[in-house]
Amino acid sequence: MGVLRFERWCSLAVGRIRFKPDRKEIYEELYAHMEDQYAELTAAGTGEKEAEEAVAEAMGDAMETARQLERLYRPFWGYALRVARCCLALALVLALAILPGYIRQLGLYTNPAEEFFGESLETEWSDNRRVWYAEPEARDKSDGYTFTVTRLAERSFGSKAEPEERRGVLYLEIRVFNPRPWAEKCTAFRELCAVDSLGTVYESADYTDRKPYLAANRTRRGLFTDTWVVILRDYVSQETGWIELRYDKSGRHLRLTVDLSGRKEAAA
Amino acid sequence: MKERRKPGLRKLRFFLDALLTLLLLLAVFAALSSRARGEEARFRRAERADLAGPSEIIARLDVPEDWPHVHYDRLLLGDDGEEIFFYLLREGGNEMLYRREKTGGMLLTPVPCWNPLEPAPWRGEEPCLPLLLFTEAPAARAEVRLRLSETCELELASEAGETGAEDGPERARFFLFRIPVPKNARLRKTELLRELLETNAVSSPGQGEFPATIRLYDEKNDLLETREYTVRSRSAG
Residue B167's identity, in one-letter code, is D
Examine the pLDDT at B104 and tell me if it is beyond 70. yes
pLDDT at residue A240, as a whole number: 82
User: Alpha-carbon distance A194 to A218, whole Å?
Assistant: 18
Confidence band of B237 (pLDDT split at 50, 70, 90): very low
Query: Which residue(s) pair with B172 in the sheet?
Result: B139
Q: Is B86 helix (H, G, I), strand (E, B) or coil?
A: strand
Examine the pLDDT at A117 and tell me if it is beyond 90. no
Pairing of strands A145-157, A213-221: unpaired
User: Alpha-carbon distance B135 to B173, whole Å?
Assistant: 5
Residue A187 has a CB neighbour count (10 Å cut-off) of 21
Least confident piece of the model among A72-86, A99-113, A206-220, B22-36: A99-113
Q: Kindly list the residues from chain A whose CB atom is less than 8 angstroms away from the CB atom of residue B51.
A: 142-143, 145, 186, 188, 191, 247, 249-250, 252, 254
pLDDT (tens digit per residue) in B21-46: 888 888 888 777 666 778 898 899 89
pLDDT at residue B236, as a whole number: 42
Bigger pLDDT: A236 vs A186? A186
Find which of A35, A250, A255 to mutate to test the B interface (most B CBs within 10 Å of its CB).
A250
What distance lies between CA A46 and its chain's CA centroid? 66
pLDDT (tens digit per residue) in A27-53: 999 999 999 999 999 998 888 888 888
Examine the pLDDT at B167 and tell me if it is beyond 50. no
Examine the pLDDT at B1 and tell me if it is beyond 70. no
Q: Do B237 and A92 touch (CB under 8 A)?
A: no
Query: Which residue(s) pair with B129 in the sheet?
Result: B179
User: What does chain B come to in residues?
Assistant: 237
Average pLDDT over residues B91-105: 85
| DSSP annotation of A126 | B
Q: Do B237 and A204 touch (CB under 8 A)?
A: yes
Consecutive H or E run containing B44: helix B39-49
pLDDT at residue B159, as a whole number: 77
CB-side exposure of A207: number of CA atoms within 13 Å?
Answer: 15
Confidence band of A235 (pLDDT split at 50, 70, 90): confident
| DSSP annotation of B225 | E
Nearest to B50 by CA among A256, A214, A138, A192: A192
Q: Kindly list the residues from chain A whose CB atom is less than 8 angstroms away from the CB atom of residue B80.
A: 250
Mean pLDDT of chain B: 80
CB contact B208 to A (< 8 Å) = no
Examine the pLDDT at A3 and tell me if it is beyond 60. yes
Mean pLDDT of chain A: 81
Q: Do A95 and B82 touch (CB under 8 A)?
A: no
User: Alpha-carbon distance B146 to B193, whole Å?
Assistant: 13
Bigger pLDDT: B95 vs B126? B95
pLDDT at residue B195, as a whole number: 76
User: Alpha-carbon distance A249 to A192, whole Å?
Assistant: 9
Nearest to A196 by CA among A156, A136, A236, A153: A236
Consecutive H or E run containing A134: strand A129-134
The answer to whether A215 touches B237, Cβ cutoff 8 Å, is: yes
pLDDT at residue B3, as a whole number: 53
Residues with Cβ within 8 Å of B122's Cβ and at least 6 positions away in sequence, in order, are: B68, B69, B181, B183, B194
pLDDT (tens digit per residue) in B43-58: 998 999 999 989 999 8
pLDDT at residue A113, as a whole number: 47
Percent of chain A with pLDDT over 70: 80
Least confident piece of the model among A133-137, B36-40, B185-189, B221-225: B185-189
Percent of chain B with pLDDT over 90: 22
Closest-CA residue of chain A to B94: A105
Residue B93 has a CB neighbour count (10 Å cut-off) of 9
Closest-CA residue of chain B to A93: B24
Examine the pLDDT at A115 and tell me if it is beyond 90. no
User: Alpha-carbon distance B45 to A226, whole Å?
Assistant: 17
Least confident piece of the model among A5-14, A114-123, B134-143, B199-208: A114-123
User: Alpha-carbon distance A152 to A171, whole Å?
Assistant: 5
Closest-CA residue of chain B to A185: B49
Examine the pLDDT at A157 and tell me if it is beyond 80. no
Closest-CA residue of chain A to B46: A184
Pairing of strands A254-259, A242-247: antiparallel
pLDDT at residue A264, as a whole number: 65
| DSSP annotation of A165 | G
Query: Which residue(s) pair with A224 in the sheet?
Result: none
Q: Among A73, A186, A215, whose Cβ lies nearest the Cβ of B7?
A: A73
Q: Do A187 and B49 touch (CB under 8 A)?
A: yes
Largest CA distance in chain B: 102
Q: Where are the alpha helices (DSSP H) in chain A?
A: 3-14, 20-43, 48-59, 62-72, 75-106, 262-267
Q: Kindly list the residues from chain A whose CB atom is less than 8 angstroms away from the CB atom of residue B207.
A: 209
Find which of B4, B50, B232 to mutate to test the A interface (most A CBs within 10 Å of its CB).
B50
Consecutive H or E run containing B108: strand B107-110
The pTM for the full model equals 0.68
Q: What are the counts of helices (DSSP H) followed by strands (DSSP E) for chain B?
A: 3, 11
The answer to whether B72 touches B92, Cβ cutoff 8 Å, is: no
- In sign, the C-alpha dihedral spanning B148, B150, B151, B157 is positive
Residue A129's identity, in one-letter code, is R
Average pLDDT over residues A162-179: 81
